[in-house]
Structure 1
Amino acid sequence: MKILFIGGTGNISLSVSKRLLEKGEELWLLNRSGACSELPGAKFIQGDIASLGSAEQTLAKHHWDVVVNWVVFTPEEAQRDIELFRGRTAQYSFISSASCYQNPGPTAIITENTPLENRHWDYSRNKMAAEHIFNAAFKSEGFPITVVRPSHTYSRVIPLTIGGWDEYTAVARMKAGKPVVVQGDGHSLWTLTHAEDFAVGFCGLLGNKKAIGEDFHITSDFFLSWNEIYQQTARAAGCEAEIVHVTSDKICALNTEYTGTLLGDKSVSAIFDNTKIKSLVPEFKAKINYAEGIARTLEWFEADPRRQVISPETDAFIDRLILLEGR
């Protein structure tokens, strides 16, 4: 297949790109740098998808079996891509988000039939609006959309709530014997998916005609409490986690930037039924548990001191939360 990725070198997409190349697919990547040393064998187009006129000119001579834009976040960007790739691809995959699901929903387990609703997070509402644009185009003109909703997928990010992701702050605190903050009582259950596992399910959808007009989430079947997530992260770092529990409401009251990611996502349990993706991609099965996955992630961070970013602002915020709890 001739596949175009817009992006393709990020936390999730890099693992997908590598898998496609291993499978012998013809992978093209459109990005601003026009290169990635970790993807030998890929073909690159240097450009900016946000510059519609330039992108049209750059891509005009191509027809694709699959297009995946890893960086569509708004309904306006969705409409732009429909105009750009109409008649130029046999399949277009939109990367949405499992944070779009109503949670708590009507059942404890999230399926693709769970309603889409998130009143706390603009990011999720914009993803939902983009889904609506793509689905309307499928119904009105047959635009070949496949919607995929990842949920907290990691490989080169640290999936901790405060002081994680592209920061090393929380890990550095634990290694120094300092306490870290976990939202709520730490007992709610959460699903973390390694990008290499996600890649198996996602690649199985590409070029699959049965996936056109459908939506899928692709997540691990393993789930842990937030206390366990922090404890396993600490053990992978060679230490133990001293946890202080702070309610999500209190965290968000002190810093509204956490409102979306906490009240709109991580403050409640999230467990997924992956029956739909498994029915279409039988080879998909999550194999990498969190203890193994986070050990790989920390090994990558610690291979280069420049990756070990410690934010003084985040560090001070954690200290403030702990102080307010009387610790």
Structure 2
Amino acid sequence: MKALFIGGTGTISMGIVRRLAEDPQWELYLLNRGNRMSEVPEAVKQIIADINDEEDVKKKLDGMTFDVVSDFIAFDVSSVERDYRLFEGRTNQYIFISSASAYNKPAASYVITEGTTLANPYWEYSRNKIACEEFLLRKYRENGFPVTIVRPSHTYDERHIPLGVHGNKGFYQVIKRMQEGKPVIIQGDGSSLWALTFNRDFAIGFTGLMGNRHAIGEAFQITGDEILTWDQIYRTIADALSVELKAYHVSSEFLADVGEKYGYDFRGQLLGDKAVSVVFDNTKLKRIVPQMTTNIPFNEGVRRVLDHVLSHSEEYEEDPDFDKFCDKVISALEDAKKKVLE
């Protein structure tokens, strides 16, 4: 069977690529600009192209058909419209990577199923994913376009620590704050529930949907079964670092407001996603992919990540601006507490 991935070298997709590279049933092609070719397994074939150059992509795919096409870098309707033009009649299944952040905010229930309403007034990213889903399902209903929708939640790999609050340069500065004995900001009171999925576990669910006729015209959320509070997540990271966690809890609403002044989109990332408790009911996925389960719990996954991060610190950039932001927020809130108590 032949599959084409657009992108294919990101956090979610690389776990799938590595799994398929070891599966003799699949012949896998990646279409991207070739920026991370050294990390792609030898068995995977590369098509070097910019997916936004539609005419060039048409030429390079001339005469090719696929059992599965999946676009890992489609974030707006114009992208899936382009994919529809390119792959209608050329694939037996088109898998769209949506997002679990598309589910209704504020949440009507903390238990999420594929039938939960899609609506997110806080985050444009999520609204764009919803619009993409609506376009593709319309094409399925009207023209039989063989779409499958996948909704990941918080998926991580061996290069990225999953956090609730971090700066524009990623998680690394938060890890440094922990190592330096500084307080780290956690949204809310740290008790809201969250699901984390290592990308190799995600790949089990995803590959189980590939070529599966029961998946056509359907949406599936793919997450691990492990549910943790945000305090537990940060405490697990601190334990792996062998440091004391100095948690400083700040309301998500306050972070959303103050973050805008410093260029941080906490409104979308917190109020539109991570501030809300979620427990995903994965019954629908497990019905057709029964092998889907959590094989790499967070306490193991985070140690794998830190092994890489601490031995490859040159790959990560410090973020002094976010460091100052954290100190300012904590100092301002401590001053406010003192005034209230006086």
Task: Please confirm whether the aligned pair reaches a TM-score higher than 0.5, indicating the same fold.
Answer: yes
Give the CA deviation at 1:252: 1.0
Q: Any idea what SS the aligned residue of 2:39 has?
A: coil
Match of 1:297 in 2: 305
* Stretches of structure 2 lacking an aligned partner (at least 5 in a row): 336-342
Give the CA deviation at 1:166: 3.5
Work out which of the residue numbers 83, 87, 92 in structure 2 matches 1:85: 87
Q: Deviations over 1:14-38 (max 9, x none)?
A: 0100001111211100110172434
1:158 and 2:158 matched: no
- In the alignment, residue 318 of structure 2 is paired with which amino acid? I
Give the CA deviation at 1:104: 4.2
Does the aligned pair in 1 maintain the 2:164–2:230 contact within 8 Å? Answer: no
C-alpha separation in 2, matches of 1:38 and 1:133: 32
- In the alignment, residue 93 of structure 1 is paired with which amino acid? I
1:287 and 2:295 matched: yes
Does the aligned pair in 1 maintain the 2:67–2:93 contact within 8 Å? Answer: yes
Does the aligned pair in 2 maintain the 1:105–1:115 contact within 8 Å? Answer: no
CA RMSD of aligned residues (A): 1.3
Q: Deviations over 1:223-243 (max 9, x none)?
A: 111111111011112212101
Q: Deviations over 1:181-217 (max 9, x none)?
A: 0011111111111111100000000010110000000
Q: Deviations over 1:117-140 (max 9, x none)?
A: 100000000000000010000001
Percent sequence identity is: 44
Work out which of the residue numbers 226, 236, 239 in structure 1 matches 2:243: 239
Match of 1:29 in 2: 30
Q: Any idea what SS the aligned residue of 1:93 has?
A: strand
Work out which of the residue numbers 256, 261, 271 in structure 2 matches 1:252: 256
Q: Deviations over 1:243-299 (max 9, x none)?
A: 111111111111122110011011110110000000010111112111111111111
Match of 1:174 in 2: 178
Q: How many residues align?
A: 327
- In the alignment, residue 15 of structure 2 is paired with which amino acid? S
- In the alignment, residue 250 of structure 2 is paired with which amino acid? V
Does the aligned pair in 2 maintain the 1:6–1:68 contact within 8 Å? Answer: yes
Does the aligned pair in 2 maintain the 1:97–1:124 contact within 8 Å? Answer: yes
Match of 1:55 in 2: 57
Give 1:7-156 correspondences, 5 Å limit. 7-24=7-24, 25-33=26-34, 35-155=37-157, 156=159
- In the alignment, residue 32 of structure 1 is paired with which amino acid? R
Does the aligned pair in 2 maintain the 1:187–1:227 contact within 8 Å? Answer: yes
Give the CA deviation at 1:106: 3.3
Match of 1:320 in 2: 328
* Stretches of structure 1 lacking an aligned partner (at least 5 in a row): none
Q: Deviations over 1:300-320 (max 9, x none)?
A: 212212223221111111111
C-alpha separation in 2, matches of 1:301 and 1:104: 35
- Range with bigger deviation, 287-296 or 299-308: 299-308
- In the alignment, residue 166 of structure 2 is paired with which amino acid? G
- Range with bigger deviation, 302-311 or 4-13: 302-311
TM-score (norm: length of structure 1): 0.97
Give the CA deviation at 1:163: 2.6
Does the aligned pair in 1 maintain the 2:70–2:95 contact within 8 Å? Answer: yes
- In the alignment, residue 178 of structure 2 is paired with which amino acid? M
C-alpha separation in 2, matches of 1:41 and 1:202: 19
Does the aligned pair in 2 maintain the 1:167–1:309 contact within 8 Å? Answer: no
Q: Deviations over 1:45-86 (max 9, x none)?
A: 000001111111111221011001100000111111001101
TM-score (norm: length of structure 2): 0.93
C-alpha separation in 2, matches of 1:74 and 1:60: 25
- Range with bigger deviation, 162-171 or 104-113: 162-171
Work out which of the residue numbers 277, 288, 293 in structure 1 matches 2:285: 277
Does the aligned pair in 1 maintain the 2:105–2:121 contact within 8 Å? Answer: no
Q: Any idea what SS the aligned residue of 2:272 has?
A: helix
Give 1:182-197 correspondences, 5 Å limit. 182-197=186-201
Match of 2:221 in 1: 217
- Range with bigger deviation, 49-58 or 109-118: 49-58
C-alpha separation in 2, matches of 1:280 and 1:36: 34
- In the alignment, residue 99 of structure 1 is paired with which amino acid? S
Match of 1:198 in 2: 202
C-alpha separation in 1, matches of 2:120 and 2:222: 19
Does the aligned pair in 1 maintain the 2:107–2:276 contact within 8 Å? Answer: no
Does the aligned pair in 1 maintain the 2:205–2:222 contact within 8 Å? Answer: yes
